[in-house]
């Protein structure tokens, strides 16, 4: 679940902080940022001299007790190890909402579904309170200014944000649903936009199996 936290954190913690005078309002409004089914963005993600392909997408929606939930998917592929593809899906009402269900698929292994207390087990200590994390990160971010940035998806004019404490620099296009254009970290990691669009579907075509419940845990919902 570390990768899920990192991916969602990057997506959530960047799109909104554009000007110092609007920062507090923007952070508060993050909770209502809509998710749009079908939208996607792909990235090259380099870490420890290894490059992975990553796609972020909203791949569906469903309603529970009158509340609309969205399936947010992260698909991570290593071109050198095609059998190790990781797919993580989280069902949540908004970017800052609590995760209701998680589906995991690693390589050729069957997709597994976790709900209820099983979700808490997987996400415990991994920062699932994205709203609190966002507000804290948003307040620490400095606005550097507008810059021209060239990535595989093209040359774009983007806002440069800097997080001094973590040593992370991020360039965003605020008008895009997936606004991250480029991110660099203190340890030479990077994430660059390669493409974006609509029409995304779930990368998991099989019916996930329910993960075995822990003793005393609530049954999957």
> How far, in Å, are 55, 87, 196 from residue 200 at the CA level?
10, 14, 10
Residue of 87, 54, 50, 13 lying closest to 188 (CA atoms) = 50
User: What pLDDT sits at residue 105?
Assistant: 94
Query: pLDDT grade, residue 53 (50/70/90)?
Result: very high
* 87: pLDDT strictly greater than 90: yes
61 close to 38: Cβ distance less than 8 angstroms: no
CA–CA distance, 113 with 119 (Å, rounded to integer): 9
CA–CA distance, 62 with 72 (Å, rounded to integer): 12
pTM for the whole structure:
0.77
User: What pLDDT sits at residue 20?
Assistant: 57
Q: What is the mean pLDDT of the chain?
A: 77
User: What pLDDT sits at residue 221?
Assistant: 45
């Amino acid at each position: 679940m570390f990768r899920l936290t990192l991916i969602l954190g990057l997506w959530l913690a960047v799109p909104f902080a554009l000007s110092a005078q609007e920062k507090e309002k923007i952070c508060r409004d993050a909770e209502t940022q809509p998710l749009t089914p079908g939208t996607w963005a792909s990235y090259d993600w380099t870490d420890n001299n290894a490059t992975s392909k990553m796609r972020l997408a909203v791949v569906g929606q469903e309603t529970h007790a009158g509340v609309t939930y969205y399936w947010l998917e992260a698909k991570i592929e290593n071109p050198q190890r095609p059998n190790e593809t990781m797919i993580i899906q989280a069902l949540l009402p908004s970017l800052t909402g609590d995760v209701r269900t998680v589906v995991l698929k690693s390589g050729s292994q069957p997709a597994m579904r976790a709900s209820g207390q099983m979700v808490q087990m997987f996400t415990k200590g991994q920062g699932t309170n994205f709203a609190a994390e966002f507000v804290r990160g948003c307040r620490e971010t400095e606005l550097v200014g507008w810059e021209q940035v060239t990535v595989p998806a093209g040359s774009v004019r983007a806002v440069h944000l800097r997080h001094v404490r973590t040593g992370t620099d991020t360039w965003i296009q605020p008008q895009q649903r997936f606004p991250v254009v480029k991110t660099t970290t203190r340890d030479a990691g990077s994430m660059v936009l390669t493409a974006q669009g609509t029409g995304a579907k779930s990368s998991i075509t099989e019916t996930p199996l329910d993960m075995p419940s822990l003793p005393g845990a609530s049954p999957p919902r």
